[in-house]
Amino acid sequence: MENNRPSWTSRYAFIITTIGSAVGLGNIWRFPYIMGQYGGAVFLIIYIILISTICFIPLINELYIGKLTKKECVGAYESINPKFKPIGALNPITGILIASFYFIVGGWIINYIYKSFVCNQISDFGAYFSEFIQAPLYPCILTIIFLFICIFFTAKGVKNGIEAANKVLMPLLALILIFLVVISLNLPNANLGLEYMFKPDFSKINSEMVLAALGQAFFTLSIGMGALLTYGSYIKEDKSLVKSVYTIILSDTAFAILAGIMIFPAVFSFNMEPNSGAGLVFVTLPKIFSQVPYGNIISCAFFVLLLCAAITSGISIVEGPCATLIERFKVSRSKACCILFFVISIIAIPATLSFGILDHVKIFERTIFDFLDFFTSNIMLPLNTLFLCLVSGWYLQIKGNRIIKNSLLVLLFDFGLRFVVPIALICLIIMGLK
């Protein structure tokens, strides 16, 4: 079986697909609005500190376990100790649950690409957005279209589908982002947005903000659902992971910061609120696009950018459970993709409807969409990461010198993997439960 496993064609292919997994709605939609809610620059500073220190450890750890075992999640845990199999199974399950809400937002993006051309017919963007997501049929169709796109690339295989899609979409994404950043920086009063992003007010620091920054950093790096473990298992050559991991973290952070530089100057230039939450991208920005010259082209470019980011992450979300189906149940890749298409649709459709006709259905007092988001982001992702750190640090007693050359980093890695990261994750889960 092992000889039949796919692998990346080059180190570049591995890095670009992993960056593709990391850079997603988390960077362009979630990061700016969370930063807006927690006061701008201080959040950014704390975020950068955390992502380059604490997050480095579980990221390299997850990739390393994949590279070491050369198996998908369940097999990886099983090869460490057969009793750990159920813990491994939590990863693909988390992937399916994440897909079921992440892909809904993917569907919204498709609608906004289309709407870019007719947005002058919309007078109240807030009302439009809530009316749109409450509709019974249209958002469901869009969710399914987005799911189909991601499954399509996954079904074509690691080389011809996943790699190929990332090699085209990621450079395109970078180009559109730079184009939009230049436009935004040339708006009147753009400096107010930059000040908001880069002039810190340290009185705004509090523990809740630090944990929010940590949660965002884990989410954006795609840690904790086996996507990275699976991607790590496709690494062929025996090169050091450290450099790749630095490149991944640096690129992911650069994309998030550039997304902020694209959004905040525009928001300030048009006197809008930077802390409008999840609606920042779907309500505030379209309002701005409708007021600038060539707004429909800019709007279309922005939502195509968001779509590219969402697809490359979506592919990685599907690949984890797909690899599990292929390797555990010995089904073909296309069959595995059909099964996933069916299973994700069954959860995603009620979740899509939870904004409208199913809004009365509550799971622990949350709508289906909110519950999936809350349960996976706040509990499952940190829990899976916690298990993997404990398994590597305490059970396998993996030492940093197997992965890292620099001796100071090795010490920090060993201490971080066993103590700092597990404690941080436990705090994150406790805060998430509140």
Asked whether 318 and 151 are in contact (CB, 8 A), the reply is yes
- Residue 168's CB: how many other CB atoms inside 10 A? 12
| Residue (319 or 414) nearer to ligand PHE, CB | 319
- The number of C-alpha atoms within 13 Å of 49 and in the hemisphere containing its C-beta is 9
Asked whether 334 and 155 are in contact (CB, 8 A), the reply is yes
| Residue (154 or 313) nearer to ligand PHE, CB | 313
The nearest distance, CB 31 to ligand PHE, in angstroms, is 8
| Residue (190 or 235) nearer to ligand PHE, CB | 235
For helices 138-155 and 125-134, give the axis angle rounded to 10 degrees.
70
The nearest distance, CB 228 to ligand PHE, in angstroms, is 8
The nearest distance, CB 21 to ligand PHE, in angstroms, is 5
Q: Which helix (H) or strand (E) holds 21?
A: helix 11-22
Per-position DSSP letters for 25-42, written without gaps between them: HIIIIIHHHHHHHTTTHH
The nearest distance, CB 216 to ligand PHE, in angstroms, is 9
| Residue (44 or 225) nearer to ligand PHE, CB | 225
| Residue (100 or 316) nearer to ligand PHE, CB | 316
The nearest distance, CB 155 to ligand PHE, in angstroms, is 18
| Residue (119 or 281) nearer to ligand PHE, CB | 281
| Residue (222 or 253) nearer to ligand PHE, CB | 222
For helices 85-115 and 73-80, give the axis angle rounded to 10 degrees.
160
Asked whether 25 and 306 are in contact (CB, 8 A), the reply is yes
The nearest distance, CB 49 to ligand PHE, in angstroms, is 19
- Residue 271's CB: how many other CB atoms inside 10 A? 8
Judged by the rule CB under 6 A, the positions of this chain that interact with ligand PHE are 21-22, 24-27, 98, 219-220, 222, 225, 227, 313, 316-317
| Residue (27 or 69) nearer to ligand PHE, CB | 27
Cα–Cα distance measured from residue 352 to residue 208, given in angstroms and rounded to the nearest whole number: 29
Cα–Cα distance measured from residue 134 to residue 150, given in angstroms and rounded to the nearest whole number: 24
| Residue (155 or 306) nearer to ligand PHE, CB | 306
| Residue (253 or 284) nearer to ligand PHE, CB | 253
The nearest distance, CB 173 to ligand PHE, in angstroms, is 12
**Residue 240 token pair:** 């050091």
Asked whether 358 and 350 are in contact (CB, 8 A), the reply is yes
Cα–Cα distance measured from residue 161 to residue 60, given in angstroms and rounded to the nearest whole number: 25
For helices 242-269 and 11-22, give the axis angle rounded to 10 degrees.
40
Asked whether 382 and 425 are in contact (CB, 8 A), the reply is yes
The nearest distance, CB 227 to ligand PHE, in angstroms, is 5
The helix/strand count (H/E) of the chain reads as 22, 0
The nearest distance, CB 316 to ligand PHE, in angstroms, is 5
The nearest distance, CB 293 to ligand PHE, in angstroms, is 31
Per-position DSSP letters for 69-91, written without gaps between them: H-S-HHHHHHHH-GGGHHHHHHH
Cα–Cα distance measured from residue 318 to residue 339, given in angstroms and rounded to the nearest whole number: 11
